[in-house]
Structure 1
Amino acid sequence: MTQVLSLWRTCTSIPVVGARVFSLAFARKAPYFSSVRPRFTVIEPNHAELVVRDRRRVHNHLGTVHAIALCNGLEAAMGALAEATIPPGRRWIPKGMTVSYTAKAVGDITCIAETDAEQWTSPDPDLPVRVRGVASDGTVVIDGVINLWVTDKKSAVEVAASAEG
């Protein structure tokens, strides 16, 4: 089990405040995510969800949740999914995001990231993560893909050998 998944399970075993403690710790590890104050609700292999609450600090000039705040929430959900899912000995890095804004984002938005288990063992390093943001009435307000580059970690011997020549 990965560190993120283990920490999630430990934190959420604490009634009422566990998910909040995890969310604060996650945002502290990647400080930019704290701009939307993500509240994680689900983290499991191949699936993660969080809520971006409707607050003035995430609004645009129309009073709706800003598209980039939504992208930030989607990326945080994807990051938690990737950390909870990646097999030992592998590493990931995001390499691109494609999204469509499909409706006005009004109210709290649940950001969802999903993959299929077989994607993580494929020899192809390109791994598309499906992402979407859903309003409380079920309306999908943003939909897209975050592409990851997943490779094997280099051993200390491989790193030393590549440094030599």
Structure 2
Amino acid sequence: MTTDNKNYLLRIYHKMRALPFGARLFSAFFARKAPYFKTIKPLITHLEPGRCELVFKKRKAVQNHIGTVHAIALCNGLEMAMGAVAEASIPPHLRWIPKEMKVSYTAKADSDIKVTASIAPEAWQLGDVPIQVEAARSDGTIVICAEITVYVSEKPQKR
């Protein structure tokens, strides 16, 4: 059995992706984990252990006063991609919770956005674990990058 088959989120992802509009269905399902994720109308385009990619469109609801994608929409995308890659990657005996987010805005976000989160398999350990996330506009320019630190602990024993 591969790691994908053992991980509950990856099982759901592959099952839903096989359906018509499966990527949309899975993205809506996952966005329910934190209702503010839905505000960006994300589409998870790739999910595997160690990597998640999602996209969202530049539209009026996510724009600021100068017509670019606003900072909170970008951070929602970063956090959603981080959460998906964490759930798809973490060993089954561990659990995580977000602890810190260090963000750098590097360019104007004036187009649709692609967010990528990644973590190496060997990075999972007890304590603070950093996950790298970045978002790029349509021309490939990185508009925001972040290191989101999650606190990792053992799952409690079931009684």
The TM tier, using the shorter chain, reads: over 0.9
- Given candidates 79, 95, 100, the residue that maps to 2:99 is 95
DSSP 3-state at the match of 2:32: helix
Aligned position for 2:9: 4
1:62 aligned onto 2:83 = no
Find 1:140's aligned residue among 139, 142, 151. 142
- Which ranges of structure 2 fall in alignment gaps of 5 or more residues? 1-5
Alignment partners' CA distance in 2, 1:133 and 1:83:
20
1:25 aligns with 2:29: yes
Which residue pairs with 1:34 in the alignment? 38
Give the root-mean-square deviation of aligned CA atoms. Answer: 1.1
More helix by share: 1
Q: 1:52, 1:70 within 8 Å by CA — same for their partners in 2?
A: no
| Residue in structure 1 matched with residue 88 of structure 2 by the alignment | 84
Q: Distance in 2 between matches of 1:2 and 1:65?
A: 33
Structure 1 counterpart of 2:153, from 139, 151, 154: 151
**3-state SS of the aligned residue for 1:142?**
strand
Contact 1:36 1:69 in 2 (8 A): yes
- 1:162 maps to what in 2? none
For these two proteins, the number of residue pairs brought into alignment is: 154
**Is the CA contact (8 Å cut-off) linking 1:95 and 1:147 kept in structure 2?**
yes
Matched, 1:111 2:115: yes
Structure with the greater alpha carbon radius of gyration? 1
Report the secondary structure of 1:88's partner residue: coil
CA apart distance, 1:154: 1.2
Residues 113-165 of structure 1 show CA distances to partners (whole Å, capped at 9, x for unaligned) of 00011011x3x4111000100111110000110000011111145xxxxxxxx
Question: Which amino acid in structure 2 is aligned with residue 97 of structure 1?
Answer: M
The percentage of counterpart residues that share the same residue type is 51
Moved over 6 A (4+): none
Unaligned runs of 5+ in 1: 158-165
Deviation at 1:26, TM superposition (A): 0.9
Cross-structure match for 1:14: 19
The equivalent of 1:126 in structure 2 is 128
Q: TM-score, normalised by structure 2?
A: 0.93
Q: Aligned equivalents of 2:90 and 2:19: distance in 1?
A: 25
Would you say the 8 A contact 1:127–1:150 is kept in 2?
yes
